[in-house]
Amino acid sequence: MEPLIHIIYVSTAKIVISEKVLHALIQKSRINNALRDVTGLLLSSEGEFFQVLEGEQSVVERLFEKIKLDPRHSNVILIIKEPIAKRDFEYLNMELAESTAQERSLST
């Protein structure tokens, strides 16, 4: 087994993604991630994304390269890429958390 890594990045949607389309993408990602043994978390807020991907190094790196080339994304910025001893999201093959500007303003 290869070493585990996580990649954490942010990106912006190039187009407006409806809630229905976003949930369909998440369902597809869950299936694909389960097949690749990738776990993680996606935070979404009004077209902005923060994602953590965990798994074997080559698998996660290939997935991140694919994300960077996805025409639906812009401003893909790598925040962290590092080895990990264990997964933080072991039981989440792609959990989605969403927030709105109103919810964010309530927390400040």
Q: Which domain holds residue 59?
A: 4-97
Query: What is the CA 107 to chain-centroid distance, rounded?
Result: 23
CATH classification at residue 43? 3.30.70.100
Let me know if residue 8 belongs to a domain: yes
Let me know if residue 105 belongs to a domain: no
Q: 3-class SS at 63?
A: helix
Task: Give the pLDDT score at 97.
Answer: 66
Task: Give the pLDDT score at 96.
Answer: 64
For range 40-50, the mean pLDDT: 87
Q: Where are the alpha helices (DSSP H) in 1-108?
A: 19-36, 57-69, 101-106
Split into its structural domains, the chain has a count of 1
pTM of the model as a whole: 0.83
> What 8-state DSSP symbol labels residue 107?
T
Let me know if residue 103 belongs to a domain: no
pLDDT tens, position by position, 59-89: 999 999 999 999 988 999 999 999 999 999 9
Task: Give the pLDDT score at 46.
Answer: 83
For range 9-31, the mean pLDDT: 86
